Amino acid sequence: MAVLHIVKHSPDASQALRRCLARVGPSDSVLLIEDAVYAPASDAALRCAGKIYALLPDMAARGLTRNPLQGDVEYVDYAGFVQLVVNHDKVISWN
Amino acid sequence: MELIVDGKRIATRDKGFLADPADWNEAVALVIAERERLALDAAHWEIIHFMRAYYRDYHHLPNNRQFTKAVQKTLGPDKGNSRYLYGLFPGGPLRQVCKIGGLPRPPSCIT
Amino acid sequence: MAEGMNGKRFLFVLRRFPIGGPQALEALDAALTAAAFDQPVRLLFLDDGVWQLKRGQPAASGRSPMALLGSLALYDIAAPPWVERESLEERGLTPQELTIEVTVLARDRVAALLDDCDVLLNL
């Protein structure tokens, strides 16, 4: 039993990321998509009890690359996105 | 479109729903019911008064499923079911009850 | 239908300001619809959603979900809604200022509540 939390807004545009991270459990995961991928590309604070993933195609579309300073972030392609959804029994989107 | 009740003109809009809920009284209800080809008896009034109380308390227009559930919880399962409610209001219970009860048209009622 | 009976267990996470848009009212309406389909429904108020519970909102407008919150028992939503303590504190609210009875929950317990359902909706 675990929850996949999806965030799609950048930390500047919305509080969604911060509010999501505060409610993540140890067996949960967070997937950053769309403008939320600006967070791992920057020095935004990305700490939570679970794992954090960023969607590579959305990073590539914005000219972003893996940020060595965000060592806790893992990266997934679309197949990885699907695998995350499969591996968690619930999905919640934070707007 | 307007209704004439006891010589008074009462405006309607929105497919026969009252323009001003404050115009409602039981005489108005009888005239609207007649247009809906319904002769109201005590069983009809019970549902109409239930719905008016619901709207007064919760400021909410339910959808069909919520309406049936709320009737069931308040008046019992013998009345909170589609067969009973359609028996009383064959033109659609929620729509007809709100219209005759002087309430706004529920958003879920498309006709 | 009471909790523990058949059906999918829904958790509605309510995070919207009460007025300024239809979202808060529509989210509660969705929860009541699920309950009207005899599904066990729980409510969790987080973030700005806790403002929906504040006592003293003018009820007559019909725009705030406040009046409709009185209907939870009518729809067999038996358990008091959960409210996150930190969401209240960050906004200077206390449980005594709320319009209905709630269960106050610490932030570090929210993840477990989110996981304890079959259908999770963040509205």
C29 vs B70: CB contact, 8 Å cut-off? no
Report the sign of the C-alpha dihedral through residues C34, C36, C39, C41, in that order: positive
Bridge partner residues of C94 (DSSP): none
Q: Which of residues 19-48 of A touch C (CB under 8 A)?
A: 19, 22-28
Query: What is the model's pLDDT at position C32?
Result: 97
Nearest to A22 among C107, C115, C122 (CB): C107
B57 vs C76: CB contact, 8 Å cut-off? no
CATH superfamily of domain region C10-122? DsrEFH-like (3.40.1260.10)
Would B105 be classed as within a structural domain?
Answer: no
* Number of structural domains found in chain B: 1
Give the CATH number, domain containing residue A80.
3.40.1260.10
Q: Which residue is catalytic, options B4, B78, B109, B111?
A: B109
Q: Closest by alpha carbon to A44, among A13, A75, A84?
A: A13
- What CA–CA distances, in Å, run from C75 to A72, C4, C40, C120? 44, 16, 10, 19
Six-digit token string for C77 = 């939503």
- What CA–CA distances, in Å, run from B11 to B16, B107, C36, C114? 9, 20, 34, 50
Q: What is the ipTM of this complex?
A: 0.90
C7: which DSSP letter? S
Would B110 be classed as within a structural domain?
Answer: no
Query: What is the model's pLDDT at position C51?
Result: 96
A28 vs C115: CB contact, 8 Å cut-off? yes
Query: What is the model's pLDDT at position C5?
Result: 59
Chain mean pLDDT for chain C: 91
Query: What is the model's pLDDT at position C1?
Result: 44
Would B111 be classed as within a structural domain?
Answer: no
Query: What is the model's pLDDT at position C87?
Result: 98
Domain of residue A15 covers 3-94
Segments of chain A with pLDDT less than 50: none
Q: In whole angstroms, give the CA distance from residue B40 to residue C107.
A: 54
* Number of structural domains found in chain A: 1
pLDDT bin (cut points 50, 70, 90) of residue C60 is low
pLDDT bin (cut points 50, 70, 90) of residue C59 is low
Segments of chain B with pLDDT less than 50: none
- Give pLDDT tens digits for B74-98: 999 999 999 999 999 999 999 999 9
Q: In whole angstroms, give the CA distance from residue A90 to residue B95.
A: 37
